Amino acid sequence: MNWRPQTILFWITIVAAITPIKAQNNNRAANGATAADWPEYGGTGLAWRYSSLDQINTSNIKRLTPAWSFETGDYQDGMASTPVVIDGIVYISTASSWVIALNGATGDPIWRYKYEPPVGLPAPRSNHGLAVGDGKVFINTRDNYLVAIDAKTGKEAWRVANGDMLNCRCGMGGVPQVVKHKVIVGASGSIGTITAYDTENGRFAWRFHVIPKPGEKGNDTWDGDSWKYGEGTVWTTGSYDPELNLIYWGTGEPKPTFYSANRKGNNLYTSSVLALDPDTGKLRWYYQEIPHDTWDFDTDYEFTLIDREVRGRTRKLLVNPNKGGYTWVLDRETGEFLGTYKFAENTNWIQGIDEKGTLIGRNDPEIGKPNFICPSNIGAKEWNQSAYSPRTGLLYTPVNEMCNDLVLRGPSGKTPQDRGGGTWIMKPPTGHDTGYSHLDALDAVTGKRLWTYSYKYELMASVLATQGDLVFTGDVEGRYFALDAHTGKKLWSYQTGAAHRGGGVTYMMNGKQFIVTPVGRGSLISDLSMVLWPEASNWRVASAVMAFALPEDEK
C-alpha cells in the first residue's frame, strides 16, 4: 500500500483521538465522565458518578432486561458498597470485607477473597466499597486494617494495621482512594486521621491528624485539653483534582457529640473540607462548614469537582451537599467560600447562612429538655452519593426529610472518658405523619430545582447519571429505576427483591453496555428508620449484585 503523508497524518489523528479515552478513564482524567470502565468509587476522582456511555438511553430504556445476578453469601448486613469495573472485571466488596471479582459479561466469579479478622478482634460488619490501582484491590476493614489483594489472582499481597484498634478505639468504615502510587484511607479514633501507604508494599507514607496538637495552628479552637478527645472521624472517601494535585477529604463532628459545654470554640478541623497534597499530606487549605458542630452534621460525603461560571468568570469549584440540608460551593484552588443553597424542605438548626458563610440564628440544643431539630442527625443527605451531568449542569441529589428530638447528657463523673453526649429519637417533620424523601434535579451552583421525584420512604442508594440522559437509583422497597434526566419522568423500573443501599455503576464490555447495582439493605440507618416506618422490619435483607442490559437486537 502506498501511504501518503496526508493519510498517515489522518490515522495518527484518529488514533490520538481514540486512545486517550480509555487511558484517561483509568487515570482520573480532568473530564469527570467514565467510559468503558468504572475505575473508582465516584466514577473518577472528580466524583461525578456520570458515564459517557449512551447505548442505553431514553429511547430504548423500556427494553432494559436483567443480564445476570450474583449472590455474595454474606447476608447479615446487606450490600452497601459500590462496584469498581476495570477491563470487564467487576470487583465487589461485602459487609464483612470480602472481595469478589466477577466476569462483567456473565457474572461468573473469577476469584474470592474472604477477609479473616485477627484472632480476638470482632469481624467487621460494614463496608462501602473498594479501590483498584497499580494491579491491586484495596479494602478497608472496620477493625482498622488496610488490605491489598492481587487484582489478577485474589491472593492477599499485604496487610497493614492503621493503628491499634484496642488502644485507639479506631476503625475504618470508608473507601480507600488511590492517587499517584499511594492508597489513602480515613479512620476514626480519639483523633481522626487520613493516612497514605505505598501501593507496592504498604509502607507508611504520611499521616494527617484532624485535631491539631498544642503549638499547631487550630489547637486554640479547643477549650483546655478537650482536643485530646475531639475525634473528627474520617469515614467516607476523597476526591482528586490531578491538575491542581489536590485531594479533598471531609471530617466528622467533634466529640462529645451534641453536648459541647466542655469543648468551647470552633473545634478545628472537625466538620471541615481539607485540601491536602497527596505527595506529602500537607494541608493546603481548609474550610470549616460547621464551626462548633452540636448537631452531628459533619462535613462528609461526596465532593463534586466541576468547572462553572461564578460571578462572571469560570471557577474550579467544589460542591458539597451536607447532612444539614445545605450545599456548600467553594473555590477548590483556594478554599474561598462562594455560596450555599438549601436543598432540604425541613431545616430549623439555623435560620440561614450569610454571604460570608457564617451560620445565622443557630438553634444549638440545650441540656435538660428535648430539642426538636430538623434535619435529623441521620441527615437530609446521607453518604449515598449524588450524580452530576455535564449535559444538563444538574446535580441529582437524594434528600431525606426526617427530624429528631435531641436529649443532651452531661458528664457522669464516673470515668474521665465519659465527657457527656446525648441521645436522639426519630420524629417526622412538623405537619407530617412520618418521614419522606425526594430526588431533586438541582442547578449545581445556584440550587435552582428543575424537577423533583417524590418517595414515601427514605432514598438511601447512590445516584448514577449517563449520557443517555438517564438517572438511575433504587429504593428501599426493592425497585431499581431510571428517570429522564431532563424531566424526572420515571421511564423504567425493575423489582430486584430487596432494598437498595449501595451505588449502581455502568460499563461497556464486548460492545454491550451494562448497568450493575448492588442489592441489599443494611447499616444502622436502616434500623433507626424503623421508628418512622415500622413496616421496614419486613423489608428483605440481601447481599447481591444485579446487571441489566439491552436485548441483543437492541444494541
Per-residue pLDDT for 308 more than 80?
Answer: yes
Predicted TM-score of the model (pTM) = 0.93
Is there a domain that residue 14 lies in? no
Is there a domain that residue 86 lies in? yes
**Kindly report the CA angle at 461 between 34 and 165, in degrees rounded to 5?**
95
Q: Percent of the chain beyond pLDDT 70?
A: 90
Longest distance between any two alpha carbons in the chain, whole Å: 90
Of the pLDDT bands very low, low, confident and very high (cuts 50, 70, 90), residue 32 is very high
Q: Percent of the chain beyond pLDDT 90?
A: 79
Torsion, Cα of 366, 370, 374, 377 (10° steps):
80
How many structural domains compose the chain?
1
452 burial via Cβ count (<10 Å: 0-12, 13-18, 19+): middle
Can you give the CATH number for the domain in which 201 is found? 2.140.10.10
Mean pLDDT of the chain: 90
Is there a domain that residue 118 lies in? no
Stretch 218-228: mean pLDDT: 95
Q: Which range among 162-176, 404-418, 531-545 has the greatest average pLDDT? A: 404-418
The candidate with the shortest Cα–Cα distance to 486, out of 440, 534, 435, 451, is 451
Q: What share of the chain is helix, strand, coil (3-state, %, to 5)?
A: 10, 40, 50
Residues 186/237, Cβ–Cβ less than 8 Å: yes
With H, G, I as helix, E, B as strand and everything else as coil, classify residue 525. Answer: helix
Residue-wise pLDDT tens digits, 503-543: 999 999 999 999 999 999 875 555 666 778 888 777 777 99
Residue-number span of the structural domain to which 41 is assigned: 26-112+127-445+456-554
Of the pLDDT bands very low, low, confident and very high (cuts 50, 70, 90), residue 13 is very low
Stretch 295-312: mean pLDDT: 95
Residues 144/162, Cβ–Cβ less than 8 Å: yes
Give CA–CA dist 125/117, Å, rounded.
11
Cα–Cα distances in angstroms (integers) from residue 232 to residues 1, 299, 333, 356, in the given order: 67, 10, 23, 24
pLDDT on residue 117? 81
The residue with cell 428517570 is 483
Give CA–CA dist 457/189, Å, rounded.
33
Is there a domain that residue 17 lies in? no
Stretch 439-446: mean pLDDT: 98
Q: Which three cell numbers stand for residue 515?
A: 448497568
Per-residue pLDDT for 419 more than 60?
Answer: yes
pLDDT on residue 189? 76
Torsion, Cα of 98, 523, 88, 32 (10° steps):
-130
Give CA–CA dist 547/90, Å, rounded.
11
Is there a domain that residue 380 lies in? yes
Is there a domain that residue 476 lies in? yes
| Residue 204, beta-bridge partner list | 197
Is there a domain that residue 451 lies in? no
Active site residue 296: yes
Residues 101/89, Cβ–Cβ less than 8 Å: yes
The pair phi, psi for residue 44, each rounded to 5°, is -130, 180
The candidate with the shortest Cα–Cα distance to 542, out of 523, 525, 519, 524, is 519
**DSSP one-letter string for 150-204:** ETTT--EEEEEESS-HHHH-----S--EEETTEEEEEE-SSB-EEEEEETTT--E
Stretch 205-224: mean pLDDT: 96
With H, G, I as helix, E, B as strand and everything else as coil, classify residue 207. Answer: strand
Pick the catalytic residue from 37, 74, 241, 296.
296
Is there a domain that residue 10 lies in? no
